[in-house]
Each structure stands twice: as C-alpha cells, then as structure tokens.
Amino acid sequence: MLQATRHTIPTIFGSREFAVAGGLTSDETSLRAGCRQLAIYTRILNGEKPADLPIQQATVFEAVVDLKAAKAPGVTIPMGILLRPGE
C-alpha cells in the first residue's frame, strides 16, 4: 500500500483498515453479519452433523471511501456511492 500511496495510485482493498490508513477505498464483508451467519454452526455442539448444515455466503458488505486519498490523484467519487447509508 505504501508504494501506491507514495505514487498517488488509486487503490481498492479488501479490508477497511487499508482504506482508513490512506488507501482509496475498501469493500469487504460485514464482520457483524458474518458472525450472525456463523452462529448457525453452533448447532454442531448439540450433535447436528456438519454435512447437514447449510452452506452460507456473505450477503452484507461494507464499503469505505477515503475522500482525502481520492482528492490526491483527482479521482471523483460518484454522489450515489457517497450517499449510500451504512449498515
């Protein structure tokens, strides 16, 4: 990330920590929603077979945009992205 920031290259990361540290944006699954989905697997503790549990896929994502990082290389963030409500 340091090289991208040093050379003002717009970057998209998979973790919000990178966007907070100066990356342009990140898009990751919601940790909170993932923990809720993961809770279904506690049924294994009650004797349910893992093969009988549903396979789940992330459905909630969180996006972070660093407007200061966007300004440096002259990237314009569409208003539709900026106005989206958070989780």
Give 37-76 pLDDT, tens digit per residue: 888 888 998 999 999 988 888 888 888 888 888 877 778 8
What is the C-alpha separation between 83 and 34, in angstroms, rounded? 24
What is the C-alpha separation between 59 and 36, in angstroms, rounded? 11
Is 53 within the bounds of a domain? no
- For residue 68, give its domain range: 2-33+60-82
Is 12 within the bounds of a domain? yes
pTM score, whole prediction: 0.56
Is 11 within the bounds of a domain? yes
Is 64 within the bounds of a domain? yes
| The total number of structural domains that make up the chain | 1
What is the C-alpha separation between 36 and 8, in angstroms, rounded? 37
Is 51 within the bounds of a domain? no
Is 45 within the bounds of a domain? no
